Amino acid sequence: MNALHALVLGIIQGLTEFLPVSSSGHLVLVPWILGWEAPKLVFDTTVHWGTLLAVVVYFWKDLVNLIVAGWKGLAKFSLADPEARLAWGIVVATIPGALAGALLDKWFESLFQKPMYVGAALLVTASILFLSEKIGRRTRDTGSINWLDAILIGTAQAFAIIPGISRSGATMSTGLARNLKRDVAARYSFLLSIPIIFGAGLFKLKDLAETGVTGNEATVLIVGFVAAAISGYLAIDFLMKFVRSKPFYVFAAYCFLAGIFALAFGAFVR
């Protein structure tokens, strides 16, 4: 991999980690279509840390408030404060994804490295984005988020271990299906991404320690990290503004077209 490939894939990772179109799916499909070498573990880990930096910087005030409220709620054995409920709800919602990542990551990674499978998964993402807009009433605010919401949204996040199933798409769609407002569902999804991206990064560091990093890879990794961080921040900012007034249909259409393209490209070109 060279610096140009790192720049392109870093931008793609940053944008697609937060836009509901599947980052893992794009990191499989783009190198395959362009004939590039598939990204190595060290690069994948680095760009994920880039997107983690983006979401932490964007929501740092929210994070501080949630941490303080969560500890106060624990000290008082009370979750009367909506922010405390949200904080501990995020902890609960992270559990299904953490278990799926720890137990099934290698299996799904090997099963879905075939790009045509990723295309099929993108069609699933398109379907859930479309259906959530149809069935959701979008009437509930952050203060109404409860334990059932956390469990269901967290379970949806666990399915995003499958390349082509968008993590943000699955979590936001579940929030919409539970009648959360779009901006509330998006904020919850982004906050929920922080522990899961952090945990996945730590989990991959174990494998990374075994492979190491050569001097020639340093520039590539820095380019990928910076590109992912900047594009990720811009993607979050764009989506938080977008969802206040517009539905997810455009992302559903994109995932549908991308899925059809991947299936057709795999069947007739490669």
For the chain, the average pLDDT equals 89
pLDDT of residue 103: 78
Quick: pLDDT tens for 198-233. 887 787 776 666 666 666 678 888 999 999 999 999
Sign of the dihedral defined by the CA atoms of residues 26, 29, 31, 37, in that order: positive
Tokens coding 125: 């993402």
Q: What type of residue sits at position 128?
A: I
Domain boundaries, the chain: 3-268
pLDDT of residue 108: 65
Which segments in the chain show pLDDT lower than 70? Answer: 105-113, 206-216, 269-270
Distance CA 92, CA 138 (A): 23
Determine whether 268 is exposed, middle or buried from the number of CB atoms within 10 Å of its CB (0-12, 13-18, 19+): exposed
pLDDT of residue 155: 95
The radius of gyration of the chain from alpha carbons, rounded to an integer in Å, stands at 18
pLDDT of residue 208: 64
The whole-model pTM stands at 0.90
Quick: pLDDT tens for 30-47. 888 888 887 777 788 889
Contact 149, 175 (CB under 8 A): yes
pLDDT of residue 36: 87
Distance CA 168, CA 24 (A): 12
Residue positions counted in the chain: 270
Distance CA 184, CA 176 (A): 9
Q: What is the 3-state secondary structure (H, E, C) of the chain?
A: CCHHHHHHHHHHHHHHHHCCCCHHHHHHHHHHHHCCCCCCHHHHHHHHHHHHHHHHHHCHHHHHHHHHHHHHHHHHCCCCCHHHHHHHHHHHHHHHHHHHHHHHHHHHHHHCCCHHHHHHHHHHHHHHHHHHHHHCCCCECHHHCCHHHHHHHHHHHHHCCCCCCCHHHHHHHHHHHCCECHHHHHHHHHHHHHHHHHHHHHHHHHHHHHHCCCCCHHHHHHHHHHHHHHHHHHHHHHHHHHCCCCCCHHHHHHHHHHHHHHHHHHHHCC
